Amino acid sequence: MLFWLAAAALTLVASLAVLLPLSRQPRADADRQDVAVYRDQLAELDREAARGLIGPTEVEEARAEIGRRMIRADAATSRAAAPPRNWARVLATAAVLAVPLVGWGVYAVLGSPDLPSQPLSARLAKCQAGATVEELVGCAEAHLAANPEDGKGWDVLAPIYMRMGRSAEAAQAFANAIRLEGSTALRESGLGEALADAADGSVTPQAQDAFARALAIEPGFPKAVYYLAIASFQQGRADEAMAAWRKLAADAAPDSPWRTAANEAIAEAERRTAAAADQPGPTTQDVEAAKQMAPADQQAMIETMVASLDEKLRQNPNDPEGWLRLVRSYVVLERKDAAREAVVRAVAALGKDSDAARQVNELAASLGVTTTE
């Protein structure tokens, strides 16, 4: 109903804009003023002739010229005052009215003003014939730009963004879907994965919160378990991470992709752990054992191990696992200043923007070591 009212109002305004000029009568005020002026000129001419200011010949010539002008002006006044032909006015009016009448008639037969807007999934289905992925996404983005509160649309677009590698936009799309459609384990874990991917694989605190919400909704949700185990490993808790991956692999179906992913993560964690064990320097267990010794022996043992690791890192600073072990050792010994200095050196050696430096910073943050570097 609102559509028809708006259409009628717009049609009326457009029609009046054309019809009103046709209904106006032409004005001949200017021509009437010219005739009056010429009459005044004739009277003035008679007065000047009576006073002898001009001769009879000049009077006759002037009178003839003024008379000719009066005749032309009077004829123009008569033409302007005459109404236009009725058939021309009727034809113009009919042409103006025919446009909206024909348009409304055709739309009443072919149009569908009451048809509800289509959801994004239906629009994408119509776009699929011969369309590329980029064209489909463009279609979806245009729809969501006009309908930003379409939660189902954001829910459809978010995983597409992830497959395209547009993780930051995927995170925003997942957040919109959660806000509009509600929180589910699938959406929350999708948000966490997008946040981690946007951080170059680092499971950030925000991503961990999303995975935790997914597990609160659906305990044991595979994606959340997998990524929280990655977070544990990145924070130096390798045993905890591998235990979570082993349980995930055991609980998953034989053909589940998460079983394969968990087994691959376990193999990589074991490789890194073995590589770290071959490096000189104290493990966390070594430091804890040393703390049970007599103070003098303890100090000597720790200083020797830390000095050995420190020297190794000076000679070969491109050793991410070694830096992680050194930072953990200082924290266990409650020497946060030394741990902070080790973080600064590690970041400088590994490259500020590298994944290895990011892991060192994340470990330091999780252990309460802050630095402005």
- Structure confidence at residue 16 (pLDDT): 61
Top-confidence residue, 43 or 180: 180
pLDDT the model gives residue 226: 95
> DSSP assignment, residue 82?
S
Closest by CA to 34, choosing from 81, 76, 73, is: 73
**Residue 69 to residues 17, 80, 111, Cα–Cα distance (Å):** 38, 17, 62
Q: What is the model's pLDDT at position 354?
A: 85
pLDDT of residue 184: 96
Q: What is the pLDDT averaged over residues 224-252? A: 89
pLDDT per residue as tens digits for the range 278-309: 555 555 566 566 556 666 666 566 667 776 77
284-366 and 120-277 share a CATH fold: yes
**Higher confidence at residue 275 or residue 58?**
58
| Pairwise CA distance, residues 363 & 339, whole Å | 11
What average pLDDT does range 115-128 have in this prediction? 54
pLDDT of 144: 85
- Average pLDDT for 64-89: 63
Q: Is the pLDDT of residue 12 over 70?
A: no
If one compares 103 and 260, the residue with the highest pLDDT of the two is: 260
Q: Tell me which residue has tokens 């001769």.
A: 55
3-state SS class at 357: helix
Listing DSSP states for 172-209 in one string gives HHHHHHHHHH---HHHHHHHHHHHHHHTTT---HHHHH
Higher-pLDDT residue of 267 and 17 is: 267
Query: Given this model, what pLDDT does residue 373 score?
Result: 47
Domain covering 284-366, topology: 1.25.40
98-121 pLDDT tens trace: 666 666 566 665 655 555 555 555
The domain defined by 120-277 folds into: 1.25.40
Whether 139 contacts 119, CB under 8 Å: no
Instruction: Look at residue 231 and tell me whether its pLDDT is greater than 60.
Output: yes
Question: Please, is 176 exposed, middle or buried when counting C-beta atoms within 10 Å of its C-beta (0-12, 13-18, 19+)?
Answer: buried
Can you give the residue ranges of every domain in the chain? 2-110, 120-277, 284-366
- pTM of this structure: 0.48
When pLDDT is averaged across residues 219-233 and rounded to a whole number, the result is 93
